[in-house]
Amino acid sequence: MADWTPGDAARWLAEAFETGNPLAALPEGIAPRDLAEAGEVAAATLEALGLSPCGLRLLLRPGAAPLAGPMTEGRLLPSGAPVALAAARHALATAAVVGVLAEPLDPGATTPPVLSRLHPAVDVSATRFTEAPEDPLALTADLARLGVVVTGKGKAAAPGPMRVALGPKGARGRGAELDLAALFDEAAAVARRWGGLPAGGLLVVAGLTAPVPPEGTLRATLGALGGAEAEFR
């Protein structure tokens, strides 16, 4: 195993992304052995797909450590756009928020990220594997369950305490109040460890609500930011 490289696992994952065919668990000889190697596999998968990241996505998980992975432009959809679920395995929907950086995130800095706009969003996570993995290494290699992020209109607003809810369109849900500033600080710290982001880059924090099956039309509401809707087909 001394000659491990991310290339073999990345090729398997890239093929699953491109074809939509399910992927069995990665064989021991090519599977990442720690989070650093899992991140290398994710980066190599993007390279194999010819994609460049536009930011970082942090997926919060109940009772487990968050997953961090790259965000790509092709996985951003406008609010109201239909979301096809045919190739989205083990899909889960949560409320999310997308922050657009007004200033670069420089490695080594510790100041809060400066954001020009915030967008309410519905995050639809999915996996390329036939069986949904629980192992954080496999999940990280699989681009942290990146599916699509359906975003609403952005507003110039500072992150802070905000009530967040997700439910069927037309239903009233009280939701829970979250400290978005603290969550963006956490996402920014991860992005800085990964080398930083330029102005205009995105910080996506998903998993703001308990995950639910993506069915019908779901609406995420984030206080004064408004909402975003995802229609599933």
Angstrom CA distances, 11 to 71, 117, 163, 166, stand at 19, 36, 41, 35
Q: How confident is the model at residue 2 (pLDDT cuts 50, 70, 90)?
A: low
Q: How confident is the model at residue 120 (pLDDT cuts 50, 70, 90)?
A: very high
Angstrom CA distances, 61 to 27, 136, 195, stand at 26, 11, 24
Average pLDDT score over the chain: 94
Domain edges within the chain: 53-232
> CATH number of the domain at 53-232, please?
3.90.850.10
pTM here is 0.95
| Helix 35-49 vs helix 7-19: crossing angle, to nearest 10 | 50
Q: How confident is the model at residue 1 (pLDDT cuts 50, 70, 90)?
A: very low
- In three-state secondary structure terms, 70 is strand
Q: What is the mean pLDDT of residues 34-50?
A: 96
Q: How far is it, in rounded angstroms, from Cα 18 to Cα 48?
A: 10
Tens-place pLDDT, residues 174-218: 889 999 999 999 999 999 999 999 999 999 999 999 999 999 999
